[in-house]
Amino acid sequence: GDSVTQMEGPVTLSEEAFLTINCTYTATGYPSLFWYVQYPGEGLQLLLKATKADDKGSNKGFEATYRKETTSFHLEKGSVQVSDSAVYFCAPNNNNDMRFGAGTRLTVKP
Amino acid sequence: NAGVTQTPKFQVLKTGQSMTLQCAQDMNHEYMSWYRQDPGMGLRLIHYSVGAGITDQGEVPNGYNVSRSTTEDFPLRLLSAAPSQTSVYFCASSYLPGLAHEQYFGPGTRLTVT
C-alpha cells in the first residue's frame, strides 16, 4: 500500500535559519501532496499542497515542489521564525485513504 | 461556521468501558474521517465516510465502530476500551473525497484508558 517517510525530528534551529524537512512517498498513480502543520494543543491545518508533477505549493514563506521522478515533496523555508515552531506532517493523498508521515517537530529559538 | 467540532476534549475510561466520541461539521462536507495520533507514529486513519450511509475501514479499525446517519455527524464508538486505545483522536472533513481537497480538522479528544 501507499506509505510516506518523513525526516525524523526534533529539529531545532535559530531564528532566520534555513529549514528543510524531507518527505518521500510510495504510491500508485498520481497522488496529490500536502503539508499540514500542528501548533501546540491544536488540530492539523493545511500549510500547502501540490496536485501534479512539478507544481510548487507555497504559503507563509514555506515552499514544496512535487517531484514525481524522486517521489519527494520536501518542505523548505528560507528564514524561520519563532512562530514557526510546530509539528509538520507530510501527507500524500491517492484516494480516500490519506496517509500521514510521523511528523517532524520544529523548534525555533530566538 | 464552527467548522469541525469534537466532544469531549478529554476523557478517562476504565478498561472494558464503552463510549462515543462525537464529531460534527457545518460545512456540508461529504467526506469525514477519524484518526488517532500517537507519539512517533503520525496520524493513522481509523474509519472514513464518503457520505451519509457509507463508511469504510482505514488503517487501524479494530476496536472502533462508526456510523453516518447524517451529513453533519460522524460519531466514533469504542466498544470495550483497552489501554492500547489511549491516544489523541482527531476528526476531519473535506468537501469531496479524493485527491485535491484539503481536510479540516477538529481540535481533538484526548482519551486515556486505565
pLDDT single digits (tens) B74-83: 999 999 999 9
Return d(Cα B55, Cα B68) in angstroms, integer: 7
| Banded pLDDT at B95 (limits 50, 70, 90) | confident
Percent of chain B predicted with pLDDT > 70: 96
CA distance B36 to chain A (A): 11
| Banded pLDDT at A105 (limits 50, 70, 90) | very high
Q: Which residue of B has its CA nearest to A89?
A: B42
Q: What is the pLDDT of residue A3?
A: 83
Q: What is the pLDDT of residue B93?
A: 94
pLDDT digits (tens, 9 = 90+) for B34-45: 999 998 778 899
Cβ contact, residue pair A93, B99, below 8 Å = yes
Q: What are phi and psi of B21, to 5 degrees?
A: -90, 130
A26: amino acid identity, one letter: T
- Mean pLDDT (whole number) for A49-56: 93
Residue A8, pLDDT > 90, answer: no
SS3 B28: coil
Query: Is the omega angle on the peptide bond into residue B107 within 30 degrees of 0, that is, cis?
Result: no
Q: What is the pLDDT of residue A33?
A: 92
CA distance A26 to chain B (A): 15
Cβ contact, residue pair B48, A97, below 8 Å = yes
Would you give the end-to-end CA distance of chain B in angstroms? 36
Q: Which residue of B has its CA nearest to A39?
A: B107
HEC letters along chain A:
CCEEEECCCCEEEECCCCEEECEEEECCCCCEEEEEEECCCCCEEEEEEECCCCCEEEECCEEEECECCCCECCEEECCCCHHHCEEEEEEEECCCCECCCCCEEEEEEC
Percent of chain A predicted with pLDDT > 70: 96
Of the residues A96, A104, A105, the best mutation for testing chain B's interface (the one with the most B CB atoms within 10 Å of its CB) is A96
Q: What is the pLDDT of residue B98?
A: 60
Residue A75, pLDDT > 70, answer: yes
